A and B are shown apart, each in its own frame.
Chain A
Amino acid sequence: MSHSDHRPGTLIHGGAVFPHRHLTGIEGLQPHEITFLLDEAEQWVEANRSHAKGDGRLAGLTQINAFFENSTRTLLSFEIAGKRLGADVVNMHAAQSSVKKGETLIDTAQTLNAMRADVLVIRHMSSGAVKLIADKVDCPVLNAGDGRHEHPTQALLDALTIRRRRGAVAGQRVVICGDLLHSRVARSNILALTALAAEVRVCAPSTLMPPAIERMFVTPYTDFDAALEGADVVMMLRLQNERMEGALIPSPREYRLRYGLTPERLARAKPGALVMHPGPMNRGVEIDSSVADGIQSAITEQVAMGVAVRMACLDVLTRRARGVEGWA
Chain B
Amino acid sequence: MTLAITNARIVGPDGETRGTLLVEGERIVAIGAVEVPDGVETVDARGRWLAPAIVDLGVFAIDREACRRGGIVRVALMPDQSPVLDDPGMVQRAALVGRPDLWIHPLVAATRALAGHDLAEIAFCQQAGARAVATGRGWIADTAVMERVLSYARDLDLAVVTHAEDGALVAGAVATAGETATRLGLPAAPAVAEALAVARDLMLAEATGARLHIRQVSTAAALDLVRAAKRRGVAVTCGITPAHLHLSDIAMSDFRTFAHLSPPLRSEADRQACRAAIADGTIDVIASGHDPQGPEAKRLPFADSAPGMAGAETLLPLALMLVRDGLCDMATLFRLLATHPAQVLGLDAGTLTVGAPADLILFDPEAPWRIEGDRFASAGNTPFDGLPVQGKVLRVWKGGRELRG
Name A's B-contacting residues (CB within 8 A).
1, 5-6, 27, 100-103, 105-106, 124, 126-129, 131-132, 146-150, 184, 187, 210-213, 215-216
The 6 closest A-B pairs by CB, nearest first: A102-B300, A148-B185, A126-B301, A128-B255, A149-B185, A211-B177
In contact, B185 and A132 (Cβ under 8 angstroms): no
Please tell me if B184 contacts chain A, counting CB pairs below 8 Å: yes
Q: Which residues of B contact A126 (CB under 8 A)?
A: 300-304
Q: Which residues of A contact B184 (CB under 8 A)?
A: 127-128, 149
Q: Taking A102-B304, A128-B302, A149-B184 as contacts, is the C-beta distance between A1 and B250 under 8 angstroms?
A: yes
Q: Taking A1-B250, A212-B177 as contacts, is the C-beta distance between A102 and B305 under 8 angstroms?
A: yes
In contact, B178 and A127 (Cβ under 8 angstroms): no
5 extra interface residue pairs, beta carbon distance < 8 Å, beyond A127-B184, A187-B183, A210-B181: A106-B299, A128-B184, A128-B301, A129-B301, A211-B181
In contact, B182 and A147 (Cβ under 8 angstroms): no
Q: Which residues of B contact A150 (CB under 8 A)?
A: 185
Q: Which residues of B contact A129 (CB under 8 A)?
A: 301
In contact, B179 and A212 (Cβ under 8 angstroms): yes
In angstroms, how far is the closest chain A Cβ from the Cβ of B175?
10
Q: Which residue of A lies closest to B191 (CB)?
A: A211
Interface residues of B in 169-209 (CB under 8 A from A): 177-179, 181-188, 190
Q: Which residues of B contact A128 (CB under 8 A)?
A: 184, 186, 255, 301-303
In contact, B190 and A100 (Cβ under 8 angstroms): no
Q: Which residue of A lies closest to B180 (CB)?
A: A212
In contact, B301 and A102 (Cβ under 8 angstroms): yes
Q: Taking A211-B178, A211-B188, A215-B182 as contacts, is the C-beta distance between A127 and B254 under 8 angstroms?
A: no
Fill in one digit per residue for B233-256: 1 if any A CB lies within 8 Å of its CB, else 0.
000000000000000001001110
Q: Which residue of A lies closest to B303 (CB)?
A: A126
- 28 A-B pairs with CB atoms under 8 Å apart are A1-B250, A5-B254, A6-B254, A27-B183, A101-B304, A102-B299, A102-B305, A105-B300, A126-B304, A127-B184, A127-B185, A127-B255, A127-B303, A128-B255, A128-B303, A131-B254, A131-B255, A146-B301, A148-B185, A148-B186, A148-B187, A149-B184, A210-B182, A211-B182, A212-B178, A215-B179, A216-B179, A216-B182
Please tell me if B296 contacts chain A, counting CB pairs below 8 Å: yes
In contact, B179 and A147 (Cβ under 8 angstroms): no
In contact, B296 and A102 (Cβ under 8 angstroms): yes
Question: In the assembly, what is the distance between CA of A149 and CA of B2, in Å?
Answer: 63
Q: Which residues of B contact A5 (CB under 8 A)?
A: 253-254
Q: Which residues of A contact B300 (CB under 8 A)?
A: 102, 105, 126, 132
By the criterion of a CB under 8 Å from any partner CB, how many residues of chain B are at the interface?
24
In contact, B303 and A132 (Cβ under 8 angstroms): no
Question: In the assembly, what is the distance between CA of A73 and CA of B183, in Å?
Answer: 25
Q: Taking A5-B254, A6-B253 as contacts, is the C-beta distance between A213 and B182 under 8 angstroms?
A: yes
Q: Taking A148-B186, A212-B179 as contacts, is the C-beta distance between A124 and B301 under 8 angstroms?
A: yes
Question: In the assembly, what is the distance between CA of A210 and CA of B299, in Å?
Answer: 26
Return the contact of A132 from the options B182, B187, B255 (Cβ within 8 A): B255
Interface residues of B in 121-179 (CB under 8 A from A): 177-179
Q: Which residues of A contact B181 (CB under 8 A)?
A: 210-211
Q: Which residues of B contact A146 (CB under 8 A)?
A: 185, 301
Q: Taking A5-B254, A131-B255 as contacts, is the C-beta distance between A147 and B185 under 8 angstroms?
A: yes
Question: In the assembly, what is the distance between CA of A211 and CA of B249, in Å?
Answer: 14
Q: Taking A1-B253, A127-B255 as contacts, is the C-beta distance between A212 and B305 under 8 angstroms?
A: no
Q: Which residues of B contact A131 (CB under 8 A)?
A: 254-255
Question: In the assembly, what is the distance between CA of A13 and CA of B300, in Å?
Answer: 29
Q: Which residues of A contact B186 (CB under 8 A)?
A: 127-128, 148
In angstroms, how far is the closest chain A Cβ from the Cβ of B178?
5
Question: In the assembly, what is the distance between CA of A105 and CA of B299, in Å?
Answer: 9
Question: In the assembly, what is the distance between CA of A101 and CA of B299, in Å?
Answer: 10
Q: Which residues of A contact B188 (CB under 8 A)?
A: 211
Task: Name the residue in B182, B186, B255 with the highest tally of chain A Cβ atoms < 10 Å from its Cβ.
Answer: B182
Q: Which residue of A lies closest to B253 (CB)?
A: A1
Question: In the assembly, what is the distance between CA of A5 and CA of B250, in Å?
Answer: 12
Q: Which residues of B contact A184 (CB under 8 A)?
A: 185
In contact, B190 and A211 (Cβ under 8 angstroms): yes
In angstroms, how far is the closest chain A Cβ from the Cβ of B381?
14
In angstroms, how far is the closest chain B Cβ from the Cβ of A177?
17
In angstroms, how far is the closest chain B Cβ from the Cβ of A136?
9
Q: Which residues of B contact A103 (CB under 8 A)?
A: 296, 299
Question: In the assembly, what is the distance between CA of A271 and CA of B299, in Å?
Answer: 51
Question: In the assembly, what is the distance between CA of A128 and CA of B187, in Å?
Answer: 12
Question: In the assembly, what is the distance between CA of A60 and CA of B183, in Å?
Answer: 37
Q: Which residue of B lies closest to A126 (CB)?
A: B301
In angstroms, how far is the closest chain A Cβ from the Cβ of B179?
4
Question: In the assembly, what is the distance between CA of A64 and CA of B299, in Å?
Answer: 23
Interface residues of B in 296-333 (CB under 8 A from A): 296, 299-305
Q: Which residues of A contact B302 (CB under 8 A)?
A: 126-128
In angstroms, how far is the closest chain A Cβ from the Cβ of B61?
20
Question: In the assembly, what is the distance between CA of A210 and CA of B304, in Å?
Answer: 20
Question: In the assembly, what is the distance between CA of A146 and CA of B304, in Å?
Answer: 13
In angstroms, how far is the closest chain A Cβ from the Cβ of B249?
10
In angstroms, how far is the closest chain B Cβ from the Cβ of A152?
13
In angstroms, how far is the closest chain B Cβ from the Cβ of A212?
4
Q: Which residues of A contact B253 (CB under 8 A)?
A: 1, 5-6
Question: In the assembly, what is the distance between CA of A131 and CA of B253, in Å?
Answer: 12
In angstroms, how far is the closest chain B Cβ from the Cβ of A283?
27
Return the contact of A187 from the options B185, B190, B255, B304 (Cβ within 8 A): B185
In angstroms, how far is the closest chain A Cβ from the Cβ of B337?
30
Q: Which residues of B contact A105 (CB under 8 A)?
A: 300-301
Question: In the assembly, what is the distance between CA of A235 and CA of B299, in Å?
Answer: 36
Q: Which residues of B contact A215 (CB under 8 A)?
A: 179, 182
In angstroms, how far is the closest chain A Cβ from the Cβ of B102?
31
Question: In the assembly, what is the distance between CA of A193 and CA of B303, in Å?
Answer: 27
Q: Which residues of B contact A216 (CB under 8 A)?
A: 179, 182-183
Question: In the assembly, what is the distance between CA of A132 and CA of B304, in Å?
Answer: 12
Return the contact of B301 from the options A27, A132, A211, A212 (Cβ within 8 A): A132
Q: Which residue of B lies closest to A182 (CB)?
A: B185
In angstroms, how far is the closest chain B Cβ from the Cβ of A34?
17
Q: Which residues of B contact A106 (CB under 8 A)?
A: 299
Question: In the assembly, what is the distance between CA of A150 and CA of B255, in Å?
Answer: 13
Return the contact of A212 from the options B182, B187, B254, B304 (Cβ within 8 A): B182
Question: In the assembly, what is the distance between CA of A187 and CA of B179, in Å?
Answer: 12
Question: In the assembly, what is the distance between CA of A105 and CA of B177, in Å?
Answer: 27
Q: Which residues of B contact A147 (CB under 8 A)?
A: 185, 301, 303
Question: In the assembly, what is the distance between CA of A216 and CA of B183, in Å?
Answer: 8
Question: In the assembly, what is the distance between CA of A105 and CA of B305, in Å?
Answer: 12
Q: Which residues of B contact A6 (CB under 8 A)?
A: 253-254
